[in-house]
Amino acid sequence: MNYMKNLTCISCSRVYRAHPQRYLCEDCGAEGLLEVQYDYEALKENWSREALARNTERSMWRYAPLLPVPSPAFRPPLQVGWTPLYYTEALARTLGLSHLWIKDDGVNPTASLKDRASAVAVAKAREAGVHVIACSSTGNAASSLAGNAASVGEGLQTVIFVPGRAPQGKVAQLLTYGALVISVQGSYREAHDLSAAAIHRWGWYNRNAAINPYLVEGKKTVSLEMAEQLNWNLPDWLVFSVGDGCTLAGAYRGLKDLQELGFIQRIPRFIGVQASGCAPITRAFHTGEPLQEVEENTIADSIAVGSPRNYVKALRALKDTQGVMVNVEDGEILDMIKVLGKYTGLFGEPAAVAGVAGLKKLIHEGVVGREQGVGAVITGSGLKDIKNVITAVGEPVKLSPDIGALEPILLEKGLI
Ligand SMILES: *Cc1c(COP(=O)(O)O)cnc(C)c1O
Ligand SMILES: [Zn+2]
């Protein structure tokens, strides 16, 4: 059973039929982001927390009633979602916090949270009967799209526009999954504009998250899972790294759905974290002024978005939850990669740990109380981008193969 009703414009409320290739409002243009509407009344009658508990599907598709994909036949076969949520006591203690839960979305099939959106994109392209699907991306949106498209077999080709600076690990993924990769020698914005022009000219399926209304629905499964994994009792705060703003907006959307259905009563306050070298959304949030494009100066490439396109939904989520935005320096991000690794066994890429780095700052500033509980998501695996990490973690101990030489080192480390 499918509960999707239609799409509505967030600016003018105009209603559209939910065609897979309906992206923006005709009247409002780029400002006219659309939002999927569901039949909550029917959902309430036919779906419940108990029904979910009985569901044996261990992927994002366990929330199919709240997703915009009418038939299971369109879903790509990779197992996306239902990632682990850890109660990270040692890290909480180090940060001076009472309760911290961390969801590891680095274990998704292509190693980032973006798989959640790309799985929906591939399903919608198949529903539309389109054979080429394209996007511009700093890396993870692209690699997840290429992987999910490859998983459905022949018949779906991906064309990916990446900015020149995309990390090698991600580009290697793209080429491995068989995508046509166009490395645009310019900024993310220029890569985006070129992809938009090509998509328009050749009628490809558009997986640009900021305008395709279905993708944020895929991303919302991250918060649906957190809520269910926490037995419908969410902590005081949820933290997200912010680039385009789609992840944060999607997570909020998921919790709004759950509240509408009566699965949860309260929505946590949201924390958005950007890198100091590229923080247009933080600036707009604090000044109340319209968003201004900025340069992209940070090692956290997945959140280096100088001209974000989904900030409207993200700002709305922050406002509605009395949220906060904060920036972190690249040094703080690199430091958090090490702290996270050491105290949890999780390895995140720079953008993935920016959220927790921001959390650390907010605890110091007293914005997040030490007695409070927080949930965070590691949005992508550290193995995707090891260049900067290697400079931060230093060198291994170099030793000749001689146990006599090993002994003083072990003594010094207190291991013997
Ligand atoms: C895309 C991405 C983000 C940020 O998501 P937005 O929707 O762009 O705000 C954070 N971390 C990682 C690893 C990402 O790939
Ligand atoms: Zn409109």
pLDDT tens string 91-137: 999 999 999 999 999 999 999 999 999 999 999 999 999 999 999 88
Tell me the Cα Rg of the chain: 21
Contact 186, 163 (CB under 8 A): yes
Q: CA torsion 358→168→120→323, rounded to 10°?
A: 10
pLDDT for res 214: 96
Residue 123, ligand 1, Cβ within 6 A = no
Residue 215, ligand 1, Cβ within 6 A = no
Residue 115, ligand 1, Cβ within 6 A = no
Burial 210-234 (b: 16+ CB within 10 A, else e): bbbbbbbbbbbbbbbbbbbbbeeeb
pLDDT for res 384: 87
Q: CA torsion 193→195→198→204, rounded to 10°?
A: -140
3-state secondary structure of 216: helix
Q: How far is the CA of 272 from the centre of ligand 2 (A)?
A: 27
Answer whether residue 211 shows pLDDT above 90. no
Q: Tens digit of pLDDT for each residue in 128-181?
A: 999 999 998 868 999 999 999 999 988 899 999 988 877 788 888 999 999 999
Six-digit token pair at 116?
Answer: 């959640």
Q: How far is the CA of 378 from the centre of ligand 1 (A)?
A: 10
Residue 135, ligand 1, Cβ within 6 A = no
CA gap 67, 75 in Å, rounded: 11
Answer whether residue 259 shows pLDDT above 80. yes
**102, 143, 241, 388, best to mutate for ligand 1 pocket (most atoms within 8 Å of CB):** 241
pLDDT for res 291: 94
pLDDT for res 282: 98
Q: Which ligand is nearest to the CA of 10?
A: 2
Residue 116, ligand 1, Cβ within 6 A = no
Nearest to 161 by CA among 121, 192, 199: 192
Residue 376, ligand 1, Cβ within 6 A = no
